[in-house]
Structures are given as structure tokens and as C-alpha cells.
Amino acid sequence: MSLLLKLKSMGLRMFKFISNIENWKSSPKLWIGAWIFLRLLFQFLREYGLTLFKKDLSKEHIFLTGAGSGLGRLMAQRFGEMGAKLSISDINLQGVEETKQICIKMGIPAANIHVMHLDVSKRASITESASSAKAAFGTVTMLVNNAGIVSGKSTLELTDPMIERTMHVNTISHLHTIREFLPDMIAAKKGHIVSIASMAGLAGIPGLPDYCASKWGAIAIDESVRLELKKAGHWGYVKTTCICPYFINTGMFDGAKSAFPMYILSPEEVVNRIVNAIR
């Protein structure tokens, strides 16, 4: 029997089994299978933005780090188009000013965009930017921790300052920014914390030990905060989203080669997935 015929007869037998109401009464496996199927279907539809109920971003005040280039710049454009108030920041002030000009050229009102110089590796700089953002548009309802760096050195090539800077920018800053905005989100019963981590936070990669460790840390912070919110009963109104992309052609990993079946992602497709995941 050819493979196609075998698959067809298997499908028919499965259909007969599922369509028999008596099997649903006697087999808990069917209910578990149905639940897993619906959960996966829902996840798939959500990832591609095919859901009926979506978060209205026009009511958000978004604090975005690393908005001077790459994903951060594109996210600012997308969030701005949707009517959100934007507090955009970067260590590279010129870059984030350019982002503002690009947004204005797209038709996003200048009054909706507040630009700040922020070095996320400095605690005082985070506190200063947080006050500046709150003074501009009030309570921050969405925090997007996007700023990131990579040293691109092997364990023995790394220097002490490189290791410390990577951990401060990619990981420790997330704790500080979350601690800065979460109390207001809880008080307002409205909030969303978005962490741009990486697939490098799910597996070790030669030549990227500090980067991988820092992204594992970012994922751990997201998960811990999510569980804390659940435990404290705030989960209904303060959400978290953790994004773990593969290599993207923003320039951060210039020269990186993809391994089949993976491929280098475009920033546009990643930002589409981020926006869908948030909404």
C-alpha cells in the first residue's frame, strides 16, 4: 500500500473514532488530545495575529529601550502607527532622534513621541528616564526591554569589562526597569512587560558565552516576574511577554550563518511577530 493510501485509511479510522460520541464518553485521552489541539491552534493563530480580540495599543504609554536602531526603531514605528504614546530611549541619542523623525515622516504626531538619552547599564540613568517619561505622558503601561549588546568573543577572549557590560545591559537592567514601573502598573491595574531575549537564551553557542548567559538571565527574570504576578493575583491585568528570536539581519550579528532548517530573519517579520504576541 502506498504511503498516501496508508495515511488516508489512518485518517478515516481516526475520523470514525473521533466522530463516535461513545468514545468521548469513555476515553479521557480524546478530551486531553482535543485540549492540546485547541491550545496549539490558539497559539498558532495568535502568533500570526489571527485573533478576534486584540489589545488596543492606542491606549498605551510605551517605554521602549534601544529605540535608536534595529528592532527598537521598527517597534517605535509600529507602536506609533497604532496610536500609542511613545517614550523612546537609547544610549545613542542621535539614533533615537532619527527614529523620532522617521515616525513623524510616517504621520505619527510629534506630540506622541518623547525622546530620552538612556544608558540602561546605569541605575541612575534608568531612574532619570523613568521620571522624564512619567512627566511626559503619565503612568507607563507597557515596558519594552529591547536594548542589547553582544561582545562576540569566546570565553578566553572576553575581558572583565565586556562580561560585566553585557550582563548589565542585557539582564540586570531588566530588573531595574521592571522595579521602576511595576508598582505603578499594579496600582493602575494595567500593565505589560515585554522582554526581548533571544534563542541564545535557550541554548549555549560557541563564541557567545556572555551573551547566552545574559539572555538566559533575561528569560529567567521574565518567568519569575510572571509567576510572582500570578502568585500575588495581579496576572489578570499585568501581562508579560518574552520574545526569543533567532538571528536577525539588523547588523548585530553581521557575518552569522544560519544552520538548516533555520534562516536569518528580517527585522520586519520579527517585529510583526512581536506585535502579534503583545496583542
Ligand X SMILES: NC(=O)c1ccc[n+]([C@@H]2O[C@H](COP(=O)([O-])OP(=O)(O)OC[C@H]3O[C@@H](n4cnc5c(N)ncnc54)[C@H](O)[C@@H]3O)[C@@H](O)[C@H]2O)c1
Residue numbers annotated as active site: 211
Grid cell of 26 as nine digits: 469513555
| Only segment of 2-10, 55-63, 119-127, 174-182 that touches ligand X (CB under 6 A) | 119-127
> Rounded to the nearest whole angstrom, what is the least distance from the CB of residue 199 to ligand X in the complex?
6
Binder to ligand X among 62, 91, 108, 126 (CB under 6 A)? 91
Please report whether residue 63 would count as binding ligand X according to CB under 6 A: no
At position 17, the amino acid (one-letter code) is F
- Please answer whether residues 196 and 82 qualify as being in contact, where contact means their C-beta atoms are separated by less than 8 angstroms: no
Provide the residue type at 65 as one letter: T
Please select the residue that binds ligand X; options are 121, 141, 151, 240, rule is CB under 6 A.
Answer: 121
- Work out which of 24, 46, 78, 95 binds ligand X, going by CB under 6 A: 95
177 binds ligand X (CB under 6 A): no
Query: Contact letters (x/-) for ligand X, 238-257, by CB under 6 A?
Result: -------x-xx-xxxx----
Q: Is 69 in the site for ligand X (CB under 6 A)?
A: yes
User: Within its chain, how far is the Cα of 222 from the centroid?
Assistant: 10
- DSSP assigned state of 248: B
Instruction: Choose which of 24, 83, 92, 184 interacts with ligand X (CB under 6 A).
Output: 92
Residue labelled with grid coordinates 505589560: 192
Does residue 222 belong to the site contacting ligand X (CB under 6 A)?
A: no
> 20 vs 266, which CB is nearer to ligand X?
266
3-state SS assignment for residue 205 = coil
Q: Is 217 in the site for ligand X (CB under 6 A)?
A: no
User: In this structure, how many other beta carbons lie within 10 angstroms of the beta carbon of residue 58?
Assistant: 12
CB closer to ligand X out of 165 and 279: 165
SS3 state at 115: strand
Residues 6+ apart with CB under 8 A from 129: 63, 87, 89, 116, 117, 118
Cα–Cα distance for residue pair 114/62, rounded to 1 Å: 10
Could you list the residues that contact ligand X (CB under 6 A)? 65-66, 68-72, 90-92, 95, 118-121, 146-149, 169, 196, 198, 245, 247-248, 250-253
